[in-house]
Structure 1
Amino acid sequence: GEWKDHLEFVAQTLGKTAEAKQLLEEYNRQIEQFKTAIGDQLAQFQVSLVNGGGNAAFLRSDVKDSFAGTILSDAGLQRPPAQNIKGLDIEINLETIPQLEGDAIFITLVSDDKGDQVWKRLQRHPLWSQLKAVKQDRVYLVDYSTWRGINILAAYGVIDDLFKYLVEK
């Protein structure tokens, strides 16, 4: 969640503070464009973040202080109650799938067999099919390296996905 501070630290170290300032200004401009484009939905719209595969026992959900969590917060998007907490992520198991409830669910999967296995197991579980976003076909598989990228280019990519799936759909 401290990716902006890291960008500024690296820029200062390299003597590129003006460039970092421009990059963050562009980020803020894109965030404001998103807020304008999504309009009135913003106040009630809840977005859930899910990560699967790799070393995780099953799933993890990014919360407020994660990289993607900070971008969603900047964009004014609400989080489901279980994810609206301080920290980086929480563990989700089969019994706690209802904690993923939201108007839209963004899923990142490690691009290996474990990611595929987690996705298939999740889709087969009866609690998954009961989620509002699943019923309304608002579940979006997004790029793992972008949504967990922790840098300005990845932040731009997350905003692009927010436009693609929440505004342009």
Structure 2
Amino acid sequence: MLRSLLLVLGLFAGVLAFVALALLAGMLLFAGAAEANIRGDERAGVSSGVSADARSDSAAAAPVVSSASTPRLVTLYQGATDSAVALGVTPIGVVDAWMEKPTYRYLREALDGVEHVGLETQPNLEKVAWLDPEVIVATRFRHERVRPLLEQIAPTVFSSTVSDFKASLTLVAAATGREDRAEQLLACWDDRVADLRAKIATTLGDAWPQKAAVVRFKSDHVRLYSSGFAGSILEELGFRQPDAAADQGWGMKLTSEENIPALDADVIFVLLEDDPAIHDTYRHWTAHPLWQRLTATRADRVYEVDTVNWIMGGGILAANAMLDDLYRHYGLAPQALSPSCALGDALGGEPSSVKEPSAIKEPSPTTDEGAA
């Protein structure tokens, strides 16, 4: 406890010094460089899977496993939390969920009683220090600016992206000594993907591969995602992007019903939230004549899917739930899993010791939610 108190006091002094230095020494220059690096890393992570920076971060830092069987772990982004639970590790501290606050429903049982340390975009570092972790898992995309402070608290490993669930799983596994389990989970994932891809192809025949649109309705616009968490999984399964989304980075931001033709695809997966304004947008857009002309609408292949599973969870548990959605919507029987692949076992994890469419802006590390 004395060590924790000293850490908190030291961290508080460090925060004051850090802020003063930032204000007096030209933080704008540093922020601009950091932002450029972060955005460049995020683009690399989305386009090529595990980015070079993600690999170098995890490789440069040897596994920080304590002498105990399970290190005291704090996870600072959703994909790391999901990954820890999948590996059978219960963190001592996690950040708040983006939706279904404070914890996603699918993780509530596993994380019952776990301390929350604030927002993913602004974790409470004093609380993190008070928990006295042995290892912290963070992401450069969100936390590069507070990296020196995190490393004062405990050894910290960083992912370069929040959307690559395989990189997150590998990073958390290396930090907790669960590499064998991670390899097992990824092998099970590969088997499920191969099974689902083969079954969809057999079912659709010459109509495969399909173009798939992941469409998120917001209160004042609609987003068409072309990459990120859901996009990378659909691509791995063999789906193609809608024509309008090609070469659009993360996707497109549509602000007018006149842009509905940009959503044309063989199948549309709709993401909604429990917000009256969002549902109003959905009703207005789907009632428009242009919506009725979309290929997916005419083929009755517009499916509402779970937003948490598809873009918010960010880990291998959410990814497998996304596959479950796809099996169900295509009327296919899921592959029978071997006992070693049963993800349900992971949910009782071992606790830690203690107009024209415009290209959507790249997600901000301080404002944009999810792993889309």
TM-score, normalising length from structure 2? Answer: 0.42
Which is helix-richer, 1 or 2?
Answer: 1
Structure 1 position 47 matched with structure 2 position 212 = yes
User: C-alpha separation between the residues in 2 aligned to 1:164 and 1:108?
Assistant: 16
Q: Report the equivalent of 1:68.
A: 230
Q: Across the two proteins, how many residue pairs are aligned to each other?
A: 166
Give 1:142 deviation, angstroms. 0.6
Give 1:127 deviation, angstroms. 1.1
Give 1:115 deviation, angstroms. 2.4
Letter in 1 for 2:191: R
User: C-alpha separation between the residues in 1 aligned to 2:196 and 2:207?
Assistant: 10
How well do the aligned residues superpose, as a CA RMSD in angstroms?
Answer: 1.9
Give 1:82 deviation, angstroms. 1.6
**Identity of paired residues, percent?**
31
Give 1:168 deviation, angstroms. 3.1
> Which SS does the other structure have where 2:239 is aligned?
coil
Aligned counterpart for 1:104 among listed residues 241, 256, 267: 267
Q: Report the equivalent of 2:167.
A: 5
Give 1:84 deviation, angstroms. 3.1
Sort the Cα spacing of 1:143 and 1:150 in 2 relative to 1 into closer, same or farther, 3 A: same
Asked if the contact 1:51–1:60 (Cα under 8 Å) also holds between the matched residues in 2, the reply is yes
Letter in 1 for 2:168: H
User: C-alpha separation between the residues in 1 aligned to 2:206 and 2:326?
Assistant: 13
**Greater mean deviation of Cα atoms: 89-98 or 136-145:** 89-98
- For structure 1, the 5+ residue unaligned runs are none
Q: Report the equivalent of 1:20.
A: 182
Letter in 1 for 2:299: Q
Aligned counterpart for 1:87 among listed residues 230, 233, 249: 249
Asked if the contact 1:38–1:167 (Cα under 8 Å) also holds between the matched residues in 2, the reply is no
Letter in 2 for 1:88: W
User: C-alpha separation between the residues in 2 aligned to 1:109 and 1:27?
Assistant: 26
Aligned counterpart for 1:163 among listed residues 320, 323, 327: 327
User: C-alpha separation between the residues in 2 aligned to 1:85 and 1:134?
Assistant: 24
User: C-alpha separation between the residues in 1 aligned to 2:179 and 2:292?
Assistant: 48
Where do residues 109-120 of structure 1 align in structure 2 (5 Å cutoff)?
109-120=272-283
Structure 1 position 126 matched with structure 2 position 289 = yes
Asked if the contact 1:37–1:167 (Cα under 8 Å) also holds between the matched residues in 2, the reply is no
Letter in 2 for 1:91: K
Structure 1 position 152 matched with structure 2 position 330 = no
Tell me: higher relative CO, structure 1 or 2? Use CA pairs within 8 A at least 6 residues apart: 1
User: C-alpha separation between the residues in 1 aligned to 2:268 and 2:188?
Assistant: 26
Letter in 2 for 1:49: V
- For structure 2, the 5+ residue unaligned runs are 1-162, 334-372
> Which SS does the other structure have where 1:6 is aligned?
helix
Sort the Cα spacing of 1:53 and 1:86 in 2 relative to 1 into closer, same or farther, 3 A: closer
Asked if the contact 2:242–2:264 (Cα under 8 Å) also holds between the matched residues in 1, the reply is yes
Q: Report the equivalent of 2:352.
A: none
Sort the Cα spacing of 1:67 and 1:41 in 2 relative to 1 into closer, same or farther, 3 A: farther
The list of structure 1 runs, each at least 4 consecutive aligned residues, that deviate by more than 3 angstroms after superposition, is: 40-44
Give 1:140 deviation, angstroms. 0.3
Q: Report the equivalent of 2:75.
A: none
Sort the Cα spacing of 1:86 and 1:30 in 2 relative to 1 into closer, same or farther, 3 A: farther
